[in-house]
Chain A
Amino acid sequence: MTSIYQQQIIDLYKYPINKKIIEDADLDYGDKNPSCGDDIRIYIKLDDDQKVIDVGFQGSGCAISQASTCLLTDEIKGMTLEEMEKLSNDDLLELLGIEITHARMKCAILSLKVLEGAIHKYKGGAVGSSVAENV
């Protein structure tokens, strides 16, 4: 059995990338996994063409949830809202590059749920937990 705790995951947990607050973010949204306490807030700054020019996050939780957020926030740099909306759980799992068991799926995909919530809110949608209905 291969460990899901590959060096990349542990390194990203210890030395996270993109972990910063963007004060004048255009998109700013957070959510939690209530059962395990993973907590992530994503900040996105868009340019005039509605492409991501800067992205940051704050969060706490397990190594899987935090590494996943690092990888996702890096991946969306330069993307349009439409491109981001097309991202799927499978895309995220591919970025993580590890086999995620059912029990850890919530940890792995929280970052994407937060991103989806951020876009939804930016477009004027109702704000609520996008995670709760999926847990």
Chain B
Amino acid sequence: MLTIDEQISKIREDFPILNRKVRGNKDLVYLDNAATTQKPKQVIDTISNYYLEINANVHRGIHALSEEASELYEQSHKKVSDFVNSKFEEMIFTKNTTESINIVANGLEDILSKGDEIVLTRYEHHANLIPFQQVAKKTGAVIKFIENDDNYNLDMQSAENIVNDNTKFISFPHMSNVIGSITPAKELTKLGHEYGAMVHLDAAQSVPHMKVDVKDLDVDFMSFSGHKMLAPMGTGGLYGKEELLEKLHPFLFGGDMIEYVSYEEATWNVLPWKFEAGTPNVAGGLGLGAAVDYLENIGMDRVSQIEHYLTKHAMKRLEELDFITVYGPDANSRGGVISFNIIGGDNGMFVHPHDVAALMDERGIAIRAGHHCAQPLVTQIMKLPATSRMSFYIYNTIEEIDFAINSLVDVNKMFN
């Protein structure tokens, strides 16, 4: 068996983009994987091959290309369903996590009424907050928030205090995209079910990085993005328990999502097509299937292991630097996402994350700076103007992390 470093080197061969130069012949060091990951050749070839050899609309034509396209598109659904242990009917292809969550939130408009409670957490990415704010406004439901402990881990005691008989819906992230905290998804789902609430898991940051089994977690809905797991942009998934998806009102109307249509009325197609109106992103869907193949070939346990290896190393190096503050839990209870700031140490000067990211960029290093689409968490809970964030994936190396951290030392020296 290959060592982790050897395996990373082998994986890198599939990602030609990692060899490119940026900012005047600097090696690209891509540490913005929580925003989107790069795509391996296998995924790009799948998309390319679809357009070169197959391209036709699906579920319509009685001709060779259409049949091939339909068959491959459905095979891809099957791969993605199996990947998270869902039934074929329960896996809807969407364009991203945001669309998936909007489908669920839209369905809640018929279900919730005044006084019902929606429970969220303080971690929420805007995608898992705004759709529910809108539902609450339309239905008169109230949103409540589960608090974190001092280390930004989800506080189960707070959850037990907040969830009650009025709780009709709970939504929370499996992993915070800002601080990497992993939430006790199974426990929280069980708590919600004890009170008869439906539970949605925002798995944008977990499905790409760890083995996720919807039946084991017992969540009612789960959303994730393809582009954060090697697949093309414009791909994502929504899992829902069959009986709930049957009840849920469609989000988009039009072609392919219908069964019988008259000028006056229409009936809906069977799952999952009821929620896939219009010509779908077939090439993207096939790319998502290829990404799943790629990840399964490595094995999700190995994926987690590689990321943990990188994260542990980065956390250890960062903790040695007194001018840096890292937010969130220790390496053992977080994913491969590290939010930090250069605070300058004793009597030092805070270096704004935008300056940190810009100076890292001058060295060829891609990190993210800002609110990470979780403005309330950063400004209201962490009480910061912004953070810098580095996030890892299976093709990052120890050398890249060391180079990034040495660069932070240089950046600090410019200001302090």
Closest to A61 in B: B352
Cα(A35)–Cα(B368), bound, Å: 13
Given the known A-B contacts A10-B414, A37-B379, are A5 and B354 also in contact in the complex, defined by CB atoms under 8 Å?
no
Given the known A-B contacts A10-B414, A13-B415, are A62 and B362 also in contact in the complex, defined by CB atoms under 8 Å?
no
A135 within 8 A of B: no
Given the known A-B contacts A36-B370, A62-B352, are A4 and B358 also in contact in the complex, defined by CB atoms under 8 Å?
yes
How would residues 1 to 19 of chain A score, 1 for a CB under 8 Å from any chain B CB and 0 otherwise? Answer: 1011100001001100000
11 interchain pairs, CB-CB under 8 A: A1-B362, A5-B355, A5-B358, A10-B415, A13-B355, A13-B415, A39-B385, A60-B385, A61-B385, A63-B351, A104-B354
Closest to B375 in A: A34
Chain A residues with CB under 8 Å of B17's CB are none
Shortest CB distance A80–B (Å): 34
Asked whether, in the complex, the Cβ of A36 is within 8 Å of the Cβ of B355, the reply is no
How many A-B pairs have beta carbons closer than 8 Å: the answer is 47
How would residues 344 to 380 of chain B score, 1 for a CB under 8 Å from any chain A CB and 0 otherwise? Answer: 0000010111110011001000000111000000010
Asked whether, in the complex, the Cβ of B349 is within 8 Å of the Cβ of A1, the reply is no
Closest to A101 in B: B358
Q: Which residues of B contact A (CB under 8 A)?
A: 23-24, 349, 351-355, 358-359, 362, 369-371, 379, 385-386, 414-415
Cα(A14)–Cα(B371), bound, Å: 24
Central interface residue in B358, B371, B414, by most chain A CB within 10 Å: B358
Give how many A residues have a beta carbon under 8 Å from the other chain's beta carbons: 18
Cα(A3)–Cα(B363), bound, Å: 10
Asked whether, in the complex, the Cβ of B385 is within 8 Å of the Cβ of A35, the reply is no
Supply 18 further A-B pairs (C-beta < 8 A) apart from A1-B23, A13-B415, A64-B354: A3-B359, A3-B362, A4-B358, A5-B358, A5-B362, A5-B414, A10-B415, A13-B355, A35-B370, A35-B371, A36-B369, A36-B370, A36-B385, A37-B371, A39-B385, A62-B353, A62-B358, A104-B358
Asked whether, in the complex, the Cβ of A14 is within 8 Å of the Cβ of B355, the reply is no
Chain A residues with CB under 8 Å of B371's CB are 35, 37
Shortest CB distance B352–A (Å): 4
